[in-house]
Amino acid sequence: MQIVPPSVERLIEELGKLPGVGPRTAERLAFHILKNDPNRASALGAAVEGLHAGVRSCRICHNFAESVECAVCTSPNRQRSVIAIVEEPFDVVAIEKTGLYQGLYHVLGGVISPIDGVGPRQLEIESLLERISDGGVDEVILATNPSLEGESTAMYIRGQLEPTGVTVTRLARGLPVGGDLEYADQITLGRALQGRQAF
């Protein structure tokens, strides 16, 4: 006997694949959606459906963008001589939330990780070097996560930047080692940003 209708089962299964959502939470969410106004369920479905069509990668910094270039790159209020290098677009969100950063970004799309088959060529490092060689950049802040991979990626990029003569800094210690920028609280991340040191 099937207690849960297959369509609900399917939703529970999909929700359960989301990070941080266990089977119990997936069940609760599914029943919540079922119990509520069908229009709200449709709105949720439409938002998920249209997600990939509406989001692309900024052609300059590879941050999330709604058009060819992202909101940061097109803003007239940003300091264009400083670029923060981050792993993922979520890290841009985390740094923006501190309200302490006025420069631009460059999103690598991950970290160097030989175990996962990710080398420098799989990341947006070449495009970073092109941006630097275009001129106008005085400082590059290596804002990769304080993990083993984040650290070795930062060191690799520092090596690549050496011939350019640009100042290279790294977020100050104080971020929990092995932690993610994405989960650091705003004050900790803000301090790490302001206390950045030559690297």
Is 103 in contact with 141 (CB distance < 8 Å)?
yes
Minimum distance, C-beta of residue 145 to Zn ion, in the bound complex (Å)? 20
What are residue 86's DSSP bridge partners? 107
Which of these ranges, 20-28, 53-61, 81-89, 91-99, lies near Zn ion under the rule CB under 5 A? 53-61
Give the nearer residue to Zn ion in terms of CB position, either 70 or 82.
70
Minimum distance, C-beta of residue 116 to Zn ion, in the bound complex (Å)? 26
Nearest-angstrom CA–CA distance, 61 and 47: 25
Is 70 in contact with 64 (CB distance < 8 Å)?
yes
Q: Kindly state whether residue 128 participates in binding Zn ion, applying the rule CB under 5 A.
A: no
* # chain residues binding Zn ion, by CB under 5 A: 6
Q: Kindly state whether residue 98 participates in binding Zn ion, applying the rule CB under 5 A.
A: no
Of 150, 148, 188, nearest in space to 170 by CA: 150
Q: Kindly state whether residue 129 participates in binding Zn ion, applying the rule CB under 5 A.
A: no
- Other C-beta atoms lying within 10 Å of the C-beta of residue 28: 14
Q: Kindly state whether residue 107 participates in binding Zn ion, applying the rule CB under 5 A.
A: no
Minimum distance, C-beta of residue 76 to Zn ion, in the bound complex (Å)? 14
Is 174 in contact with 192 (CB distance < 8 Å)?
yes
Helix axes 6-15, 23-35, angle to 10 degrees: 130
Give the nearer residue to Zn ion in terms of CB position, either 61 or 189.
61
Torsion of the alpha carbons at 36, 37, 41 and 43, rounded to the nearest 10? -140
Of 71, 168, 76, 96, nearest in space to 128 by CA: 168
Among the listed residues 12, 26, 30, 63, the single contact to Zn ion using CB under 5 A: 63
Minimum distance, C-beta of residue 151 to Zn ion, in the bound complex (Å)? 25
Give the nearer residue to Zn ion in terms of CB position, either 70 or 128.
70
Query: Could you identify the residue written with the tokens 């971020």?
Result: 175
Among the listed residues 11, 12, 30, 60, the single contact to Zn ion using CB under 5 A: 60
Give the nearer residue to Zn ion in terms of CB position, either 7 or 79.
79
Give the nearer residue to Zn ion in terms of CB position, either 21 or 73.
73
Give the nearer residue to Zn ion in terms of CB position, either 30 or 84.
84
Instruction: List residues binding Zn ion (CB under 5 A).
Output: 58, 60-61, 63, 70, 73
